Structure 1
Amino acid sequence: MTSTDRIPKAALAALPDELAETVQTALADWPADEALPEQPEVLESLPRAWACSEFITRSCQRRPERLRELAEGGDLTRKYAAGEITERLANTLAPVRDEPGLHLALRRFRNREMLRIAWRDLVGWADLEETLRDLSELAESCIDQSLDKLYHWLCERMGTPRDAEGNPQRMVVLGMGKLGGQELNFSSDIDLIFCFPEPGQTDGRRPRDNQEFFIRLGRQLVTALDKHTPDGQVFRVDMRLRPNGDSGPLALSFSAMEHYYQHQGREWERYAMIKARVVGGDYQAGAHLLDDLRPFVYRRYLDFGALEELRDMKAKVMAQVRLKGMENNLKLGPGGIREVEFIGQAFQLIRGGRDRRLQERRILHVLDYLREVHLLPDYVVGELMEGYRFLREAENRLQAIGDRQTHEIPDNPLDRQRLALAMGFEDWEALQSRLDRVQHQVHGHFEQVFSAPQAEEDEESGPSELDVLWQGELEPQTVREQLDELGFDDPQAVERRLRALREGSVARALSAQGRHRLDRLIPLMIGAARSADNPDATLLRGLDLVETIARRTAYLSLLVEHPMALSQLIQLCDGSAWIARYLAHHPLLLDELLDPRSLYKPLGSEALAEELRDWLSRIDEDDLEEQMEALRLFKQTNTLRVAAADVSGAVPVMVVSDYLTGIAEVVLEEAVGIVYRHLVARHGRPLCRVDGETVEAGFSVIAYGKLGGIELGYGSDLDVVFIHDTRGEAQHTDGDRPLDNPVFFARLAQRLLHVLSTQTPGGVLYEVDTRLRPSGKAGLLATSLEAFARYQREEAWTWEHQALVRARAVAGSEPLGQAFADLRAELLTLPRDITALRAEVRQMRERMRGEKASRDPERFDIKQDRGGITDIEFMVQYAVLAAAGEHPELLRYPDNVRLLGALGRCGWLPDGDADRLAEAYRAYRGRLHRLTLQEAGGSVPAGEFQQHRDTVTGIWDRLMGGD
């Protein structure tokens, strides 16, 4: 019985007739003196492996001992551990002493491992992830270990390359494409870029320039991997992705790389650099280079221009596909692998600068994250991931047939049978049916992502009426007549503003691409604005915004590409001048216009806290700059949601303040945590010993004014005081660089103000006023609770106790916050001379009115004039200071409306006065909100609130004694 007779007949019978015949022919040619492996699982799988792959069959026939060694050692039937290929290659290359020996060892190792990987894949012992991982590790190991050998040999001949300070320099190899993404397929090229950290010279007898050294080293590495020998080649190497392609130097210094990408880098190179990964040489230096190149790949803003660029790239690819008849190409054809990658990478280029978790090289991980954050629906991601796996498996198994780099679906019947068998289908027709369905699904999703429903002009019908109106080809008077017909009330002003934008410096400075985007956007904006309630104001506000953001043409692309975003922008500009200006100052927020479901639904405090924690979790804890930007974007995003809901009427005015206050509280809590962690990492925790026990001293932010009273408005400052509770003995931090606790908390307060108030690319988080602290500007920035209490009991003015009515802890230590609440209750319930109190409060209000009230009898300043908001606030504060000792329920709330309710219920304000004051207060607050959103100041015609003014003035006279 020959060894070939041991092949299970059932395994052969399971094959299609033609494939069974090829296997039997190959077995007949098996050398008589060579035994097949004895392992049953190997013999059982052999007919399928040989039937599916000529490469496997040839490899076994040429080197029978290789199959036997793989089988007997168990390597064929088991999954390698991570790093095992690397370790095996290191052992293989250890005795190698010269380049010919390196070439031979690499090729024999590669052939062994490719046989193992292909066999395991084709017979179903390995899943796609294992196959791609092993192929990628094989390539990276060959690159890195060959480079190490070649580097040391070249150093022996030319000397070691060094920088100006004498530090040795090593080359960095960047793997691009599928190698960079650890997704290498079976017979792929490897796309590489060679670079080195610093210019300099070698230290040999004849010093050579570092670049000359590394170019020579790079050539040797390419030869070691790419050269054809009787044992084949290791990998085909493609160096065309390097700066300037084939015309550029083979190796560049880091500074030259950074200069190239900063000044000459093209859009397709951004796309390529998404997958760049260090695969050989100095991994640490390479990681620093990729960090430095990250801003080239991932813009800090939402880069919707990338969508247009990717669409153009795909169009060029498809033109080549049609020209070369490659419609059946698994990679490049419609619904192919590249379309899945384009979908994921579009989101990466657009949003990766804002969301680091999108800075991911592996496409399946990208798609999974897009599902997690709801940027793509679950079913879309499911179909794309299923399609990608199917297409990649088909690609690998197609290439494994003959170890050839091909993506074309075979047209000969035998290879079609091989591929169908490898993919687990009964026949070619069944595989073709599944392939058609997968490609149809993928292409449909690709079209959904990359379609531009309002971006493309109808070439047959030519420019629209609005295009002609904008392009400046008509006389101004004709443009005005057309604008009048479109429904604009002041066509002269609108025409003048359009002309100023079209002919102004901003438009003139745009690139050809930027001007093209502007010329597509403005007609769309004119058409959308004509349907607004206030078309003139809406369009003018929109044009002001466009002029502000036009230099970053990606924002123009966002509005051109997405009808929903433009529609929401027009709606918000129609409702609020403040929102239009807010968006102009923070154009990153234009992304929020894409989804009205979230735009008009502001989050409550718990959801806000969860969202901010999620945002910050994606940032390194040591990266204070990124954390500050995240806080700003979070605040701006959620403020926009509140304002959008406000102008749409979705929330009442008092709830608007609740939402804005909630945003500030969540931001303050996280900001305190960020600063505290940074200081503790440097100096340790602030400890003190109290009654023999060591405790950690707490820190708290006390809010006054609108924040304390839960009445925050758009753009309100934060009035805050910082307190801590260090006391007792041994008041210092426990780190290697200890500080006295008061110094620690002073620095904490200073850094917190820095986080909140520093102007960054994202703007200012909040303007902060700390003048209400003890002794005002002359006092300590952070005060101990004991010192704060002593000041309030012994030195504070009546107005400082008035301010306590709206004071509360909003961030930091909860026990300290409760201690402050207890102190506040004590201070507000102190016995007071009512007559003296009334006189002091009245005098202060009169002095304030004299400084800030309106001088125009035709106007009413809602806040400062007699009968306005401040009169109500002073009456509430007076009443709480006068009555809290007898009515402790007045200590429960810091906001005016609920305090008025409590004053009415306890009978301190008689005959419905509390309700009337609350009604006036709500009316005033609502009108101020509207005025703020329209940027219309804080005053109205004198007669607008006459009834409320009379009511408030009458109650003031009765309660406070008149002027």
Structure 2
Amino acid sequence: MPPPLAALAETRRARLAERWTPDQQQRWEAAWASYSQPAQLDHMLACSPFVADLLQRDPEPMLALLASGELQRSLAIGEAEQQLAGILQHGDAELLPELRRFRARHMLRIVWRDFCRLAPTLETTRDTSLLAEASIRCALSHCEAELAPRFGRPLGRHSGEVQELVVLAMGKLGARELNVSSDIDLIFTYPEAGETDGDKSISNEQYFTKLGQALIRALDAVTAEGFVFRVDMRLRPYGDSGGLVHNFSALEDYYQEQGRDWERYALIKARAVTGCADRVAELERMLRPFVYRRYVDFGVIDSLRGMKQMISSEVRRRGLESDVKLGHGGIREVEFIAQCFQLIRGGRDLGLQQRELLPVLAECAELGCLPQSAVDELRAAYLFLRDSEHAIQGYRDQQSQALPTEPGHQAAMARVMGFADWPGYLERIDAHRQRVAAHFRDLIAEPGESQEEETDDLPLWGEDLSAESLQALGYRDPQESVAPLLALRDSKRVLALQVQGRERLEEFMPQLLRACAEAEDPDLALARVLPLVTAVLRRSAYLALLLENPAALDELVMLCAASPWIAQLMAEHPVLLDELLDRASLYTAPDKALLQDELRQQVARLPLDDLEAQMEALRYFKASHTLRVAASELTGRLPLMKVSDKLTWLAEVILEQVLAVAWHNLTAKYGEPSREGGGSGFAVFGYGKLGGIELSYSSDLDLVFIYDSGARGVTAGPRSIDNSVFYTRLGQRMIHILETRMSLGQLYEVDMRLRPSGDSGMLVASTAGFAGYQRDSAWTWEHQALVRARLVAGDESVGEAVYGVREEILRRDRDAVDLAREVVQMRRRMREHLLPSAAAAKGEFHLKQGVGGIVDIEFMVQYAVLAWSRRVPALTQWSDNIRILETLGREGLFEQGECEALTEAYLAYRSAAHQLALQQQADIVPAVDYGEHRAAVTGKWEQLFASCEGDAAGQG
């Protein structure tokens, strides 16, 4: 210890001896003799006059702490409150003195543990917060006991239930991040208006106002023994000019009608510290939509930018550069960075809906809002600054965050912070603050100036908008393009906009027109983006998103210009604009493992029994990843085979979660089905494009549900039902989740016609029923469909049983001629029903149903599997056409050249179909463009089926 501090410690130790009685001195020496770290006493006497004064006045609290061992351990949550409640239970206990003595004892403990580094930073903030919570709850209970005999119980006007005061802790107390000499920000509320039931009846508002005032006095009043916590009520509705308490309904009305963005910011950390769990949950449900918008809320950025400017201005105006909280690079700037992302993204990214700062910063890194390196710097700076704040405040128990100027305090603070001298400490804190300030500066910077200076003077919106302006930008058909712009400008929807929405539109439209002018076809790009603008007029936060992120606007224009399908997707679901913010993510479609991991993270914080929330999350997940696949395909980053893989994996991951949600929902009601072995006993098989790993953007899902359980089994829950009924309802629930239309549309259309007996059969088949049907009743076309059957979700043991049946059926000994005849007849019927009759006459080729098209290849592959699997079992291994064709070539069943030609044709057809889907066009192309591929397909078809064709094929 430096000599000045050592001398100070010696002087203060002498004062202790002067003030104490001989008995106290004797007990002190005995207690201290057994303490494991005696040097801590001199350290504390030198570094905290607050602790020295407490010990001089009364050694008893410290003796009690030493005797109980509380000085050397953390307190459990609730332990301090239990102690205080026990003290106040004594009949002669006076509330105000006892509260203050209790606070003094625990602040002695908290500061001691902090200054001696017995407690990490977050324990200090937690214990101070728990002390405040204990003081609030115990004081409130005491005040209620005094009011009840005078006025009776407050009852709800409609419910008749007893009402209670719910104390909302705001700011650092709400997050349990209180500093050692902090005030506490509170809001008082209660559930329901009404009156008390006593002889002297008063309204609930009057009652709770009196109760709130009594609570504030108990905590805030300064007496001879000090205070407990300074109470600040200015964050309540209407501030100092508003009522002290509001019921839930009044609170909700205020925030819905008059709530401002800074109040949303403040409520992020709000936490009820009194009230029963049901009422607290009701209040949280009420406040959450105000704090967290359901979409990514870039509309709040202007307000946040204003708050940021006010922070910077306040530092300059008040000369707060030496303030570790309010100065540049201080605690407030770290908090602001985290809470900005919470307001902007917290409505969708539920991991941001947390009160504690450090977990929010970690989530920002996880979500890509901030680089991990930035989060590491902010975390380290935050902890160092909070320790510094405690070193300042624990010196004299004063609410200050200013770095000390007095040499003695500087020396004490440097020692507490672990530095040899004050300059060494200053060097470290300046480095931390510079890093924080840099991140703060980079946050929500002002939007860039227009990059098209030469067109800045063009009238691109408003009364002077004209075709000439568009022509000057490079539009090819300005007269055609200006018409919808003028219609939009003069529409009732625009005229009815509120001031903020109109201002955003006026700022956005010139930027949009300039962005579209950079497209290859500006008029087409504008025509495709305008429906999105119309769709979001009343939700102008989306326009703010694009204004704040010019690169996202450029991506939007490029993608919409390239694909009307994407343009329609964005117009119908503007929430997907958020996907344009991260270009790397937009053009990276994850593999299945990453998809599973991402979906797991997105739904992890959603209760499985919150069906609506699960369904919304799944729909966003599907829409966003479908957009990523489409964007990647349009820009050439994904070849066809990968596109189908990605879309198929996406469907599988979604089906797994849909099954998990449906299973949880059903078992919560009925219990699990009783069956031997583990697993759910339920399997989802994909047929068609899903089974063949060939999904496209608008594919429906061909599904078959199969279960395996005892014939007489029942579920194990109190509302027991037959297993077969349970599994049927499980399938129905899955279809409900998949097909229900919500704000983000459906997940998928589901086709169940390939199940045993089709539409007339049971929705869910047992393994025995499935096997019996396939063996005894299935048509040849159903065995063809079985070629593409594949387990996509559910119990693998059930899947293995079904695969066994599939293997058995596909490897049957069949008469090749009879099989060929049935395949050709089915193909003929399909073409008659599904092929547009005029296509061939116009020189057009239907990619799927036309002669030499996709279905012809599929039928030849299916024929080959059914005809030859008995002697070549490898043909049953795969469900996709490409790998079956590879097997046919490898086994010598088709010529290698034929397999390669069929594969090339198949891939060319599907690639064209994908591109046509993105252009919202039918699967019809000029026949001349695909003559070589068609010839290869028809040549092989004739080779296989010439003997049974007759006058078979129609034209296509």
Q: TM-score, normalised by structure 2?
A: 0.92
Q: Distance in 2 between matches of 1:672 and 1:67?
A: 59
- Which stretch shows the higher mean deviation, 215-224 or 632-641? 632-641
Matched, 1:708 2:700: no
Matched, 1:451 2:445: yes
Q: Distance in 1 between matches of 2:128 and 2:508?
A: 47
- Which stretch shows the higher mean deviation, 136-145 or 655-664? 655-664
Matched, 1:766 2:761: no
- Structure 1's unaligned 5+ residue stretches are 1-10
Matched, 1:244 2:247: no
Note the alpha carbon deviations across 1:191-228, whole angstroms, 9 max, x for none: 11111122222221233222221111111111111112
Q: Which residue of 1 aligns with 2:82?
A: 87
Q: Which residue of 1 aligns with 2:887?
A: 902
Q: Which residue of 2 aligns with 1:480?
A: 470
Q: Distance in 2 between matches of 1:674 and 1:825?
A: 31
Pairing partner for 1:838 from 817, 820, 835: 820
Q: Which residue of 2 aligns with 1:340?
A: 334
- Structure 2's unaligned 5+ residue stretches are none
Q: Distance in 2 between matches of 1:13 and 1:617?
A: 56
Q: Which residue of 2 aligns with 1:655?
A: 642
Q: Distance in 2 between matches of 1:32 and 1:514?
A: 74
Q: Contact 2:459–2:466 at 8 Å: present in 1 too?
A: no
**Per-residue deviation, 1:168:** 2.0
Q: Which residue of 2 aligns with 1:171?
A: 165
Matched, 1:787 2:769: yes
Q: Which residue of 2 aligns with 1:155?
A: 148
- Which stretch shows the higher mean deviation, 862-871 or 64-73? 64-73
Matched, 1:585 2:567: no
Note the alpha carbon deviations across 1:67-95, whole angstroms, 9 max, x for none: 55555665445543443322221222112
- Which stretch shows the higher mean deviation, 520-529 or 203-212? 520-529
**Per-residue deviation, 1:148:** 0.7
Pairing partner for 1:941 from 926, 932, 944: 926
Pairing partner for 1:144 from 129, 137, 150: 137
Note the alpha carbon deviations across 1:817-846, whole angstroms, 9 max, x for none: 122222223323334444444343333333
TM alignment of 1:72-151, pairs within 5 A: 74-76=69-71, 78-96=73-91, 101-151=94-144
**Per-residue deviation, 1:306:** 3.2
Matched, 1:183 2:177: yes
What one-letter code is carried by the residue in structure 2 that aligns with 1:477?
A
Note the alpha carbon deviations across 1:475-525, whole angstroms, 9 max, x for none: 5132133122xxx33333333344344444444444333333334433333
What one-letter code is carried by the residue in structure 2 that aligns with 1:83?
G
TM alignment of 1:535-934, pairs within 5 A: 535-688=522-675, 698-728=681-711, 730-854=712-836, 855-856=838-839, 857-858=841-842, 859-909=844-894, 912-934=897-919
Matched, 1:53 2:35: no
**Per-residue deviation, 1:473:** 5.0
Q: Distance in 2 between matches of 1:774 and 1:25?
A: 94
- Which stretch shows the higher mean deviation, 926-935 or 885-894? 885-894
SS at match of 1:731: coil
What one-letter code is carried by the residue in structure 2 that aligns with 1:105?
E
Pairing partner for 1:435 from 411, 423, 429: 429
Tell me the matched-pair count.
Answer: 938
Q: CA RMSD in A?
A: 2.9
What one-letter code is carried by the residue in structure 2 that aligns with 1:930?
Q
Q: Contact 2:10–2:42 at 8 Å: present in 1 too?
A: no
Pairing partner for 1:525 from 512, 519, 523: 512
Taking a change above 3 Å as real, the CA distance of residues 900 and 281 of structure 1, as seen in their structure-2 partners, is closer
Q: Contact 1:608–1:663 at 8 Å: present in 2 too?
A: yes
Q: Distance in 2 between matches of 1:539 and 1:915?
A: 43
What one-letter code is carried by the residue in structure 1 that aligns with 2:473?
L
Q: Which residue of 2 aligns with 1:4?
A: none
SS at match of 1:471: coil
Taking a change above 3 Å as real, the CA distance of residues 803 and 520 of structure 1, as seen in their structure-2 partners, is same
What one-letter code is carried by the residue in structure 2 that aligns with 1:218?
G
**Per-residue deviation, 1:347:** 1.9
What one-letter code is carried by the residue in structure 2 that aligns with 1:934?
Q
**Per-residue deviation, 1:230:** 1.9
SS at match of 1:700: strand
TM alignment of 1:156-555, pairs within 5 A: 156-163=149-156, 164-454=158-448, 465-466=455-456, 468-472=458-462, 474=464, 476-484=466-474, 488-555=475-542
Taking a change above 3 Å as real, the CA distance of residues 670 and 944 of structure 1, as seen in their structure-2 partners, is same
Taking a change above 3 Å as real, the CA distance of residues 575 and 49 of structure 1, as seen in their structure-2 partners, is same
- Which stretch shows the higher mean deviation, 851-860 or 376-385? 851-860
SS at match of 2:265: helix
Q: Distance in 2 between matches of 1:396 and 1:883?
A: 80
Taking a change above 3 Å as real, the CA distance of residues 827 and 211 of structure 1, as seen in their structure-2 partners, is same
Note the alpha carbon deviations across 1:550-603, whole angstroms, 9 max, x for none: 433332232222344334333433432222322333333333323333322222
Note the alpha carbon deviations across 1:928-950, whole angstroms, 9 max, x for none: 11111122222223422233234
Q: Contact 1:52–1:401 at 8 Å: present in 2 too?
A: yes
Taking a change above 3 Å as real, the CA distance of residues 934 and 165 of structure 1, as seen in their structure-2 partners, is closer
What one-letter code is carried by the residue in structure 1 that aligns with 2:629?
V
Q: Contact 1:860–1:940 at 8 Å: present in 2 too?
A: yes
Taking a change above 3 Å as real, the CA distance of residues 805 and 116 of structure 1, as seen in their structure-2 partners, is closer
**Per-residue deviation, 1:888:** 2.7
**Per-residue deviation, 1:768:** 0.6
**Per-residue deviation, 1:651:** 2.0
What one-letter code is carried by the residue in structure 1 that aligns with 2:634?
V
Note the alpha carbon deviations across 1:666-692, whole angstroms, 9 max, x for none: 22122212212332232222225xxxx
Q: Distance in 2 between matches of 1:12 and 1:808?
A: 76
Q: Distance in 2 between matches of 1:464 and 1:226?
A: 63
Q: Distance in 2 between matches of 1:16 and 1:618?
A: 53
- Which stretch shows the higher mean deviation, 225-234 or 793-802? 793-802
Q: Contact 1:330–1:336 at 8 Å: present in 2 too?
A: yes
What one-letter code is carried by the residue in structure 2 that aligns with 1:634?
F
- Which stretch shows the higher mean deviation, 693-702 or 272-281? 693-702
SS at match of 1:760: coil
SS at match of 2:226: coil
**Per-residue deviation, 1:24:** 8.2
**Per-residue deviation, 1:766:** 0.9
Q: Distance in 2 between matches of 1:477 and 1:673?
A: 56
Taking a change above 3 Å as real, the CA distance of residues 159 and 79 of structure 1, as seen in their structure-2 partners, is same
SS at match of 1:943: helix
Taking a change above 3 Å as real, the CA distance of residues 697 and 387 of structure 1, as seen in their structure-2 partners, is closer
Q: Contact 1:188–1:405 at 8 Å: present in 2 too?
A: yes
Q: Distance in 1 between matches of 2:766 and 2:352?
A: 44
Taking a change above 3 Å as real, the CA distance of residues 32 and 351 of structure 1, as seen in their structure-2 partners, is same
**Per-residue deviation, 1:406:** 2.1
SS at match of 1:406: coil
What one-letter code is carried by the residue in structure 1 that aligns with 2:468?
T
What one-letter code is carried by the residue in structure 1 that aligns with 2:85?
A
SS at match of 1:719: strand
**Per-residue deviation, 1:25:** 9.3
